[in-house]
Amino acid sequence: MEKEKHELMYSYAASKFQLYTKTLIPACIPYFFTGLKISAPMAITASILVDTLQGGNGLGCMLSQSLKGGMTRLVFWDIVLISAVIGILSYWLMGVIEKLLCPYKRKKAED
């Protein structure tokens, strides 16, 4: 189907700019937001992991200290729950942004 759209735009003598703005970019937006939905929660996990390996005073350092017995075990579960909530909220936020920027996708879901 995409090849047919491409050929149709060429038959209308569309410029490269029109080809990108009317066909290619709108076709890739759903894949872009899928990548954002996957990467947003993973970024939270990666930041905690990197902080664990580097040290410092962040959540990762507190997490490793709580597992070694330097702090209570409740600190570990607090960090896990907070990072899970932040990950879920970041996923939800990407979904809200997608719904705002892709009204055509919302119309299909309402039908």
Residue 91 has pLDDT above 60, yes or no: yes
One-letter amino acid of 80:
V
**What predicted TM-score, i.e. pTM, was given to this entire model?**
0.68
Look at the chain and count its residues. 111
Q: In the predicted model, is pLDDT for residue 65 greater than 90?
A: no
| Mean pLDDT along residues 73-83 | 78
**99 in Cβ contact with 110 (< 8 Å):** no
DSSP assignment letter at 26: H
- Domain ranges in the chain are 30-110
pLDDT of residue 39: 92
Q: Give first-to-last CA distance, the chain, whole Å.
A: 22
Over residues 67-77, the mean pLDDT reads 71
Q: Which residue has the tokens 């990950």?
A: 87
CA dihedral (70, 46, 38, 2) in degrees, to 10, reads: -170
